[in-house]
């Protein structure tokens, strides 16, 4: 299955949903319509045959942020707070709330909301040519799209303030070294690395992955006792699944497990 919808490309094959920002002439900057369609694509992925999402950009960039030509000239005449609540925030919440893993495949620029879309993913894999930037301050704005939530949890308060207050881009290797992203690979190896990860996740036990993602998300807002209770409830669901039975059988029979997500 594939779909072309303006500045967003969506395809699904073998359980891997690929969602691609498609505005390469402007480094895949996004307008409000693209943001709305992204939210729809994420929500659809929670219900269809998707097992894992790969979020990426066409051409030489991941996403250079909001399309200033289409979004900001009328900003003074808009209720931007409402735009964020109704257009941007639902997409970020959908990414973190859906039970299926998301891989951000980052090449070139990931700036502004593009950077924060990447941070909303579960795994971030970048090429050596990638750059990450909380560029909002460059035009007199504060970060949105969850940047003030995601970044300090990854790199701490002081580094987050530096990155946001200065707005300078940092290369992928530095982002990796401070714990902002998962992996950095040569550009020639980016697709192979992402595809291998996507295949592994697509073939992993879906119920267990959903509980891992939900448990980690809940732990950011809870204490140890609450986390232990979540684990107890979630493990009870996992152990009653067909995937658990298959995993044990495969282990005992010394073969590769074939998980069905049931």
> In sequence order, which residues have a C-beta less than 8 Å from that of residue 245 and are 6 or more positions away?
none
Query: Quick one: CA torsion of 184, 187, 193, 199, rounded to 10 degrees?
Result: 130
- Structural domain contains residue 175: yes
Residue scoring higher pLDDT (210 or 73):
210
- Structural domain contains residue 111: yes
pLDDT score at 148: 95
Same domain, 228 and 104: no
185-194: per-residue pLDDT in tens?
Answer: 999 999 999 9
DSSP structure class, residue 114: H
Is the per-residue pLDDT at 72 higher than 70? Answer: no
- Structural domain contains residue 258: no
- Structural domain contains residue 215: yes
Same domain, 235 and 187: no
- Structural domain contains residue 142: yes
CATH of the domain at 226: 1.10.12
Q: What is the number of domains present in the chain?
A: 2
Same domain, 116 and 219: no
CATH of the domain at 181: 3.90.226.10
Range of the domain at 210: 206-252
pLDDT score at 5: 57
228-249: per-residue pLDDT in tens?
Answer: 898 899 989 998 999 999 999 9
Same domain, 150 and 131: yes
In the chain, the percentage of residues whose pLDDT exceeds 90 is 81
Q: pTM above 0.85?
A: yes
Report the phi/psi class of residue 80: left, alpha or beta, with left for phi > 0 and alpha for psi in -120 to 50: alpha
- Structural domain contains residue 257: no
């Amino acid at each position: 299955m594939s779909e072309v919808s303006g500045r967003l490309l969506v395809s699904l094959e073998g359980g891997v949903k690929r969602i691609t920002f498609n505005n390469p002439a402007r480094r895949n900057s996004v307008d409000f319509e693209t943001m709305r369609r992204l939210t729809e694509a994420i929500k659809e992925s929670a219900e269809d045959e998707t097992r894992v999402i790969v979020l990426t950009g066409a051409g030489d960039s991941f996403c250079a942020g909001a399309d200033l030509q289409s979004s900001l000239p009328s900003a003074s005449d808009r209720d931007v707070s409402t735009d964020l609540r109704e257009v941007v925030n639902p997409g970020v919440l959908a990414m973190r709330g859906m039970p299926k893993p998301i891989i951000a495949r980052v090449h070139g620029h990931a700036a502004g909301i593009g950077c924060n879309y990447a941070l909303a993913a579960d795994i971030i894999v970048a090429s050596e040519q990638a750059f990450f930037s909380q560029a909002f301050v460059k035009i007199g704005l504060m970060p949105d799209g969850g940047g003030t939530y995601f970044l300090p949890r990854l790199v701490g308060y002081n580094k987050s303030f530096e990155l946001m207050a200065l707005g300078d881009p940092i290369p992928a290797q530095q982002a990796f070294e401070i714990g902002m992203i998962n992996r950095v690979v040569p550009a020639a190896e980016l697709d192979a690395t992402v595809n291998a990860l996507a295949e592994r996740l697509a073939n992993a036990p879906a119920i267990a992955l959903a509980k891992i993602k939900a448990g980690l998300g809940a732990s950011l807002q809870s204490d140890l006792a609450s986390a232990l209770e979540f684990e107890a409830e979630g493990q009870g669901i996992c152990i009653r699944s067909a995937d658990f039975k298959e995993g044990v059988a495969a282990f005992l029979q010394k073969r590769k497990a074939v998980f069905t997500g049931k």
